[in-house]
Each structure stands twice: as structure tokens, then as C-alpha cells.
């Protein structure tokens, strides 16, 4: 499953970077949820592709909005599989079980994704600091 998610993210990153799209993809072993940011026409084209892809059983758009700045500007497509170390973040946002699209709101999803990005950034800083300490 993790390998499949990595393949999806790698393909999305290549396409999204060329199209000027950024975003975040989360998977909790049941549902994928995705945030897309970018030029309206590019996002609309990508959404049409997603809707027409037979691998997607149900596509639900939680909302659209105009934003002044991107939340995921460093991510052509960030994301990952829900893991044990992320569980606290999911719980803090009220996701004790799966991410039921019927219970999601756009603001709740964006807040979750921001916190997951922050968790990943903190992990990378910690890994980099550990590597620097090892080199001293």
C-alpha cells in the first residue's frame, strides 16, 4: 500500500509542478483526501482527469475558494499514509477513525493537512540536526 501511495505522489508531483499546482494528499487506509491549489483552469482540468479516472469510485468536492497565498507552496504534492506517529494530529482534529468525506469540511481538512506538514517539517529538522551532530 505504501509503495502504491509513493507512486501516486511521484506521478502527481511531476504533473502538478508542470501545471503550477500544489497541494496535499492524505490516505487513512480507507479514503484519499486531497487539497489542490493553483490556477483555477489547471485545477479544474486536473479535477476532470481525476473524475474520469476509473480508479476513483467516488469524488466529492468539499469546496472551492480563492486564496491570497498557498498553504502548500513547497509541495507539488505532499502527503502520506496515516501512520502511528501522525495519530495524535488526526485525533486532535477529531479523526479517531477514518476520514469520512460526509463529515469533512474544507477548513477542517486544510487545518489537518497544515498540521501534518508541520509534523513532517519538524521531523526533517530533527533528522538534519541528528545528522549534523553525527558529523561533528
What's the sign of the alpha-carbon dihedral 37, 48, 113, 105?
A: positive
Per-residue pLDDT tens for 36-60?
999 999 999 999 999 998 888 888 8
Closest CA to 135 of 14, 33, 127, 104: 127
Question: Averaged over 73-102, what is the pLDDT?
Answer: 81
Domain span at residue 125? 2-135
Q: Give the other-Cβ count within 10 Å of 88's Cβ.
A: 11
Is residue 27 classed exposed, middle or buried when 0-12, 13-18 and 19+ CB atoms within 10 A define those classes?
buried
89: Cα separation from own chain's centroid: 14
Res 82: pLDDT: 81
Which residue did the predictor score with more confidence, 42 or 126?
Answer: 42
Report the alpha-carbon angle 32-34-39, nearest 5.
155
Residue 81 has pLDDT above 60, yes or no: yes
Q: How many domains does the chain have?
A: 1
Per-residue pLDDT tens for 97-111?
778 777 788 898 899
CATH number, domain containing residue 47: 3.30.70.100
Amino acid at each position: 500500500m505504501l509503495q502504491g501511495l509513493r507512486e501516486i505522489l511521484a506521478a502527481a508531483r511531476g504533473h502538478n509542478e508542470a501545471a503550477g499546482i500544489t497541494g496535499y494528499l492524505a490516505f487513512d487506509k480507507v479514503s484519499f483526501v486531497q487539497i489542490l491549489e493553483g490556477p483555477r483552469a489547471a485545477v479544474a482540468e486536473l479535477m476532470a482527469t481525476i473524475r474520469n479516472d476509473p480508479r476513483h469510485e467516488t469524488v466529492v468536492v468539499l469546496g472551492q475558494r480563492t486564496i491570497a497565498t498557498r498553504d502548500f507552496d513547497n509541495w507539488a504534492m505532499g502527503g502520506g499514509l496515516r501512520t502511528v506517529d501522525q495519530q495524535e494530529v488526526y485525533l486532535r482534529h477529531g479523526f479517531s477513525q477514518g476520514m469520512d468525506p460526509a463529515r469533512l469540511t474544507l477548513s477542517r481538512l486544510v487545518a489537518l493537512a497544515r498540521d501534518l506538514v508541520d509534523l513532517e517539517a519538524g521531523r526533517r529538522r530533527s533528522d538534519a540536526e541528528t545528522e549534523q551532530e553525527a558529523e561533528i
